Amino acid sequence: MAGGFGTRLSAVVKDLPKPMANINGKPFLHYIFQSLQKQKIENVILSVGYKHEIIQDYFQDNYLGIAIKYAIETEPLGTGGAIKHAFSFVDDDAFVLNGDTFFDVDLSKLKNEKSDLFIALKPMKNFDRYGTVELNSANRIISFNEKKQCESGIINGGVYYLKKSLFDKIKTATKFSFENDILEKHVLCLHFQGIIFDSYFIDIGIPEDYEKAQKYFK
């Protein structure tokens, strides 16, 4: 998912898609590709929109030995519409990652043939930027809660293992939110599974965390 505008980052990252934010001389997306390369991912579809030419010029059709295709939005489709459009390039299922977050997870542990969707979850303390996720004893997700100040909780880390067949089970508009119209709306009627990874997580959506990423990836 590499179509973000980076509105909240505009003070430090100007006129670039958010995944192209400069981190120690490389775009943030480079570090995601580096992680995918280590996990032997061979094919990536980049869902792009805003100034997608900048991303295409940099990554071309192969980067770090990973073949790349581009799912280009001619108009903003929302997170859900963008994922659904990108899945037109996928035969069956795929991992889905956000291009403005880095979550150091073992993707192979996310695969689960019995679930419609498998989500990597991150435990956090003292936060208000994210909603929380609740699991039952079988690690099935039973609710997504709204953003509020929390002393501790589990958040959606933005890394998914998603079956293409999910979109056959529900009706969606062309433009829709993955979080609101899929996750929250269908949490009880579809099977969403979660697994907790207490590993490094960074979201560069605000200048403060953008600066933290500079230090981490150095």
The amino acid sitting at 2 is A
Region 72-87: mean pLDDT is 94
Using DSSP, state whether 100 is helix, strand or coil.
Answer: coil
Distance CA 132, CA 150 (A): 9
Residue 31 has which token pair?
């570090």
Domain ranges for the chain: 7-217
- pLDDT at residue number 207: 86
DSSP notation for 21-69: -EETTEEHHHHHHHHHHHTT--EEEEEE-TTHHHHHHHHTTEETTEEEE
Residue 43 CA from chain centroid, whole number: 16
Distance CA 141, CA 118 (A): 9
Instruction: Give 161-183 pLDDT, tens digit per residue.
Output: 999 999 999 999 999 999 999 99
More confident residue, 136 or 11: 136
| pLDDT of 10 above 70 | no
Phi and psi torsions of 212, nearest 5°: -65, -35
- pLDDT at residue number 50: 87
The amino acid sitting at 90 is V
Full-model pTM: 0.93
Burial class of residue 206, CB neighbours in 10 A (0-12, 13-18, 19+): middle
Region 89-102: mean pLDDT is 94
Distance CA 210, CA 212 (A): 5
- pLDDT at residue number 8: 64
Nearest to 97 by CA among 196, 192, 2, 177: 2
Q: Please give the CATH number for the structural domain made up of 7-217.
A: 3.90.550.10
Instruction: Give 21-39 pLDDT, tens digit per residue.
Output: 999 999 999 999 999 999 9
| pLDDT of 68 above 80 | yes
